[in-house]
Chains A and B, each alone.
Chain A
């Protein structure tokens, strides 16, 4: 700690060597030195020479004057770290903005006081509430996990965070660290959820991609509209199409068929797999509330995430939805989770629906329609202008130029006429 602080203040080598001396051996010397080095007055020095234990308060006050820092910081700094770790932490807040190297050295013995550490790190990094709340999770359960997490969070990019928030199979470290909803599942149940997640990925995912991106009617009427309506102007024209091509490509690779196209046969194959998968899930769920009894796990989240879009979206081609609706327990499972964990969203969407539905689809279309009208007017104007430029405009310009040129000619002519007249008169 001492070495670090000295580095931070940009002290000389002399400072370093003396500061590195164990603080408890000779605090007196230390104090005197620091004061000398900082160019303090004799008065300060004399007060410093006083045995520190007699008048530590004074000392602190003095140093604070010297360094222009607040009393709180200084007092904590000068204290031997092992005596008062709490103060240490407070000090580190001063050091905020130090490099990663410093910070790592700050991650001193976590087993001593992880809680405090966490408080500190949160202060240091000005993290968002989300980070904090996750960091405030009981540290005594798994301090190691916390460390990994904090180290990840430290100056992390959005990518890190998003990967942590992703489903557990994407981030296996999280499963190992048990940082998930499956904390109280037995090992066998954990294995089961892994297996069912694989089942969903292999059987249901292709059908989902097909339903939302490849099936032409659904794509044009629903998916493209969703995306186009929520994208800013120039992107809404080409981004949805691009996304569709990526998804189609993905489906082709998943199926191992290069020339795969939307069609009856493909739809049947995919939907057969998907309905089988739904049936299996339904059988596994049985009459339980969640897949593993009464408390939710990551598998429930995963299943819900894949089934709810099918259940809730109004698609022109709703074969999957029809099948899902015929499986009562899965439908109940989805609505149950919606009610339990998305109470606000559910109400909002329902109120939105009720408010928007009476006014009909026209209301939804208005902004898009205006934009389209505007665009078509622009395009028409552009076409007309270019046509005019190519054909008529040139001659008009020409005529205009002539028109402009004519008057002076006329005037000069007239002037000449006048002159001539005058000459004649004269």
Chain B
């Protein structure tokens, strides 16, 4: 994470080619993973597939504690461990794989800005709905999050996580929001993305970038995950070009390879 370590990583890794046995770690897909983690994980997978870098997905119950930054997902490449999309993008760039090379300065600035928009609004909204909406927290988040652990520990860990997320929400000023306001923020974000996408196949011209991977990861996960209320997915569905965008990426990068 630190600057010195980053420089070191990029120097070392630049020399080595992408290995065949690269692995991506995430929590248990069936029983444990939560919406926000699943979205981040899918974004990284989409990004790596767009780069044409093979990666094997491994599910571990303690993935969160294995990650160097405590965040999901992280990849294990050679002797390097890198977590989260931003550092992973830099890491692959050091290895000579980049999706945003064809962009000019303004476009790159806009791409970064939109990526922060997704992190700032969609990801935060996902976390809010998971942990701050009581119905979702009781029915889905806490049981799923603590699924691999036995009784006393499961409760402790789940409540600890919820407490942590709620404090973060208070710190960034989302603590006072109600669910309706959060949905409103999500629609606003989706409208912005939809406006930006317009009729193009990808956000910047005809080539996918990391922004496309990130947006796909979040939207696709929200669309395909069953929550206590379908409101979140409904907000996305009102933008038809985003739906077709998700379908397009899914078909191009996920279907033909799995079949």
Contact = CB atoms under 8 A, between A and B. Distances in A.
Nearest to B70: A256
A415 interface: no
Contacts of A268: 2-3
Contact of A269 (B2, B109, B113, B195): B2
A196 interface: yes
A362 interface: no
Interface in B144-191: 167-168, 171-173, 181, 184-185, 188-189, 191
A253 B191 CA distance: 29
Nearest to B171: A253
Interface string B107-126: 01110111011011100000
B209 to A, nearest CB: 14
A198 B171 contact: no
Interface in A261-317: 265, 268-269, 272, 276, 280-281, 283-284, 286
A202 B120 contact: yes
B1 interface: yes
Contacts of A199: 112-113, 116-117
Nearest to A271: B3
Interface in B198-242: 198
Contacts of B116: 195, 198-199, 201-203
B3 A196 contact: no
Interface string A79-104: 00000000000000000000000000
Chain A interface extent, by class: 20 to 34
B105 interface: yes
Contacts of A194: 117, 188-189, 192
B185 A192 contact: no
A106 interface: no
B119 to A, nearest CB: 6
Interface string A173-188: 0010000000000011
A191 interface: yes
A378 interface: no
B119 A198 contact: yes
Contacts of A286: 106
Contacts of A170: 173
A400 B184 CA distance: 79
Given A191-B196, A202-B116, A256 B3 contact: no
B51 interface: no
Most chain A CB inside 10 Å of its own CB: which residue of B1, B121, B195, B198 = B195
Interface in B90-114: 105-106, 108-110, 112-114
A367 interface: no
Interface residues of B, number: 35
A249 B113 contact: no
B94 to A, nearest CB: 16
A195 B110 contact: yes
A265 to B, nearest CB: 5
A261 B117 CA distance: 27
A249 B164 CA distance: 12
B193 interface: yes
B178 to A, nearest CB: 13
A172 interface: yes
Contacts of A283: 105-106, 108-109
A195 B192 contact: yes
A116 interface: no
A257 B9 CA distance: 22
Nearest to A249: B171
A191 B108 contact: no
A194 B198 CA distance: 16
A250 interface: yes
B120 A253 contact: no
A18 B40 CA distance: 70
Interface in A200-223: 201-203
Given A190-B192, A191-B196, A250-B171, A269 B3 contact: yes
A283 B173 CA distance: 29
Given A198-B119, A201-B120, A191 B171 contact: no
A272 B185 CA distance: 29
B36 to A, nearest CB: 13
Contacts of A250: 171-172
Contacts of B112: 199, 276, 280
A8 interface: no
Given A188-B195, A195-B116, A283-B108, A254 B172 contact: yes
A37 B71 CA distance: 79
B192 A191 contact: yes
Contacts of A280: 108-109, 112-113
B106 A191 contact: no
Contact of A188 (B2, B185, B188, B196): B196
Given A195-B116, A198-B121, A190 B195 contact: yes
Contact of A187 (B1, B121, B195): B195
Given A191-B192, A268-B2, A172 B171 contact: no
Given A191-B191, A280-B112, A198 B2 contact: no
Nearest to B172: A254
Nearest to A186: B195
Contacts of A190: 192, 195
B2 A172 contact: no
A362 B114 CA distance: 49
A284 B111 CA distance: 11
**Shortest Cβ-Cβ A-B pairs, 6 listed:** A191-B192, A198-B120, A280-B109, A195-B113, A253-B171, A198-B117
Interface of A: 170, 172, 175, 187-188, 190-192, 194-196, 198-199, 201-203, 249-250, 253-254, 256, 265, 268-269, 272, 276, 280-281, 283-284, 286
15 contacts: A172-B188, A175-B188, A188-B198, A190-B192, A191-B191, A191-B196, A192-B196, A198-B119, A199-B116, A250-B171, A253-B168, A253-B171, A256-B70, A284-B109, A284-B110
Given A172-B181, A195-B113, A201-B116, 16 more contacts: A172-B188, A188-B196, A188-B198, A194-B117, A196-B113, A198-B116, A203-B116, A249-B171, A253-B171, A265-B2, A269-B2, A280-B109, A283-B105, A283-B106, A284-B109, A286-B106
